[in-house]
Structure 1
Amino acid sequence: MTFRKPQPKWPPRLAKFLPSLRQSEEAILQNVFMFVEDISHPMPFRHGRRKSFSVRLKGTDTEQQKALQVLDDLSDHAGSNLEEKLGNAVDTLAKRIAWEGRAQFELIPRDDGTTFFHAVTTKRLFRLIGIAVQYLAPEDRRFWQSNALRWVPLSALWHIDVPRDLGGRRGYRCLLSNLKKFNNLGPPFLSFDVRNGNNPRNFDINEYARSNNIFRYKVTHAWGWDCRDWSTERTTEFYNLYRSATAEQAKRVFRSHIISQINTLLARLEIDCTISVESLPSAEDAQQMKNKLVTGELSFKDFLDTR
């Protein structure tokens, strides 16, 4: 007897991605790629079978199974235990949010009563009164064999944005836009001159690198991004540690927000189950750690040991 996988009752009405906006690997600037990758894993790393936190589901066995199904459907990889399932779901959502400032899904009921989560790009999607309209350029229409406009009722969409404490979606999109202004390899004219065998005499690459560093630190201040540079050539040891503490705080704010939104989703789907997490460090703890680092109550060594 073969097992039949539950199927959506109808095909997705919105396009998952738009080929006309697809970027080549060369077009994705190094600053943006590194930043997105570095903030895409807010959950603690799991070492073998050792658990650094525990997850509990509050609800009947039937409702708990529905909640577990939702976690698996939101994840790129299904976990073998409750902690892995939640961790995978949070990290998967975080990665989607990190690229566009919002993770968005079209909710489609399956024939077994569960929900199919169809990931949808946020680009060229316009929210109007009661509906969302997606515009497809000629290249997109040929690829999807579709009309220029697609639409769904807003009630069929679910999304998670960057939390307001980290700038919200609008602030985050501005952050990504700013990161595109500097290229670690130098400005376009420098690359052009080097390819043509010219060496600009009036251009100081070291000053450019210094300005790039200052700009990146300023733009990503709320996230505490270290730009993958722990040297003290342009900063102090204290500043590096302070940014590390800020990054830890941002990570905790990010994952707490995602877990809260998953609980909101369960309630929306009328699943009477709540996810709670224990032994997971909070953003408030990180703020206290930052304060003690500033006042000198927490030594550099103790800070590194408590991370």
Structure 2
Amino acid sequence: MRGHRAQLNIKPSLATRFPSLSKGSDIDPDVHMFTEDIHLAIMPIGARTYKQKEFSVEFQGEASDCEMAKEIVGELAEFDRYDTAGMVCDAVDNIARYLAWEGQAAFEIIKYEERIYINGFTSKNLFKLFNWYLQIIPPGDRDLWKRKFSLIGKEKVWKVEIPHELGGVRGYKNILEKLRKYNHLGPSFYRRDLERGIAAKGFDFFKYVRSSEIYFNSVTRAWGWNRRDWSQDKCTEFYSFHRMLNFKYAQALLREHIIEEINRLLGRLEIKCKLIVTGLPTSSDILQIRNDMQKGELSFTAVSDKVAM
């Protein structure tokens, strides 16, 4: 699809990226881990799962509409794929990646010669003005895009946002901002002293680390993120699994939200076909698993098997 689009020389109306706003090597490691973990295995990687044997992907509707729906979902995927399940997994993962980065994912709907193309673009500097979207191009990127702004009708933009159950766009961006406040290598004065070979006096690095762990756990409590730490030095095995289930629950909520939004897009485009994904633990399933674990009716091994991809 992307190769076909390139051959037709289809140019989006909106700027897709702003390199001048990229933090590059300054990206906070905790923010990087958090955003990566959110979309990691939100769907079976490559549509292959050894635990969820009932996993399946289906497009329900008239054959012609379902073919159109597959083309749309293929546009949302990062890579061109020919297997339906792999394409859907890639599309959901790609949207989840956008959401993890910015709290929202924005796409331009391009209609060209009776076909529909979907092009992702950055949601930064994007403002809604009545029935329009205004995109302000930063000064550092105006030579790249040859303009100062872009204006497009709202009917040509499709947006997906972090669901309100997970804080919404504003709440999610607040989490990312708070994650940047603590540096796991120590405060700036401590790092400067280390670079100079000076031992900081009166500063307890281990207390700092412990305080930062408490802070990170508090900030990401709604997500149940464990910072890739499965050690039980400071918590019980039960707590580790409880937190893991909270994270799996958040991922399931996000997955279900993305699939629902894809189906809304298909309806908006008057494509009478529905994307159905089954065989993965739903948010309701995970709440039940957590409840059964709390009552002692499920072992930790059973819990892990039920939610693993």
Indicate the TM-score class for this superposition, using the shorter chain for normalisation.
over 0.9
Residue by residue over 1:231-289, the C-alpha shift from the partner in whole angstroms, topping out at 9 and shown as x without a partner, is 11122211111001111111111111100100000111111111112222211110011
Displacement of 1:194 after TM fit? 0.9
TM-score (norm 2): 0.92
Q: In the alignment, which residue of structure 1 is the partner of 2:219?
A: 219
Displacement of 1:77 after TM fit? 1.6
CA distance 1:143–1:270, change in 2 (3 Å): same
CA distance 1:235–1:8, change in 2 (3 Å): farther
Q: In the alignment, which residue of structure 2 is the partner of 1:60?
A: 62
Residue by residue over 1:123-180, the C-alpha shift from the partner in whole angstroms, topping out at 9 and shown as x without a partner, is 111111111111123211122221x222111111101011111111111111111111
CA distance, structure 1, for counterparts of residue 5 and residue 239 of structure 2: 53
Q: In the alignment, which residue of structure 1 is the partner of 2:166?
A: 166
Q: Given that residues 249 and 287 in structure 2 are in contact (C-alpha distance below 8 angstroms), is that contact kept between their aligned partners in structure 1?
A: yes
Letter in 2 for 1:177: E
Does residue 145 of structure 1 match 2:141? Answer: no
* Larger mean Cα displacement after TM superposition, 179-188 or 135-144: 135-144
Q: In the alignment, which residue of structure 1 is the partner of 2:73?
A: 71
CA distance, structure 1, for counterparts of residue 45 and residue 120 of structure 2: 25
Q: In the alignment, which residue of structure 2 is the partner of 1:208?
A: 208
Map 1:98-117 → 2, pairs under 5 A? 98-111=100-113, 113-117=114-118
CA distance, structure 2, for counterparts of residue 164 and residue 22 of structure 1: 27
Q: In the alignment, which residue of structure 1 is the partner of 2:132?
A: 131
TM-score (norm 1): 0.92
Residue by residue over 1:105-132, the C-alpha shift from the partner in whole angstroms, topping out at 9 and shown as x without a partner, is 1111122x22222212111111111111
* Larger mean Cα displacement after TM superposition, 272-281 or 62-71: 272-281
Does residue 93 of structure 1 match 2:95? Answer: yes
Displacement of 1:230 after TM fit? 0.5
Letter in 2 for 1:220: T
Map 1:1-307 → 2, pairs under 5 A? 11-25=11-25, 27-41=26-40, 42-45=42-45, 52-111=54-113, 113-146=114-147, 148-307=148-307
* Larger mean Cα displacement after TM superposition, 216-225 or 76-85: 76-85
CA distance, structure 1, for counterparts of residue 31 and residue 192 of structure 2: 22
* Larger mean Cα displacement after TM superposition, 258-267 or 71-80: 71-80
Q: Given that residues 47 and 85 in structure 2 are in contact (C-alpha distance below 8 angstroms), is that contact kept between their aligned partners in structure 1?
A: no
Q: Given that residues 39 and 98 in structure 1 are in contact (C-alpha distance below 8 angstroms), is that contact kept between their aligned partners in structure 2?
A: yes
Letter in 2 for 1:249: Y
Letter in 1 for 2:75: D
Any stretches of 5+ residues in structure 2 without a counterpart? none
CA distance 1:182–1:49, change in 2 (3 Å): closer
Any stretches of 5+ residues in structure 1 without a counterpart? none
CA distance, structure 1, for counterparts of residue 4 and residue 301 of structure 2: 56
How much is the aligned-residue C-alpha RMSD, in angstroms? 2.0
Give the 3-state SS of the residue equivalent to 2:106 in structure 1.
strand
Identity of aligned residues (%): 36
Matched pairs, number: 302
Displacement of 1:221 after TM fit? 1.3
CA distance 1:262–1:167, change in 2 (3 Å): same
CA distance, structure 2, for counterparts of residue 269 and residue 144 of structure 1: 29
Displacement of 1:191 after TM fit? 1.1
Displacement of 1:295 after TM fit? 2.6
* Larger mean Cα displacement after TM superposition, 155-164 or 15-24: 15-24
Displacement of 1:36 after TM fit? 0.6
CA distance, structure 2, for counterparts of residue 52 and residue 251 of structure 1: 19
CA distance, structure 2, for counterparts of residue 219 and residue 186 of structure 1: 18
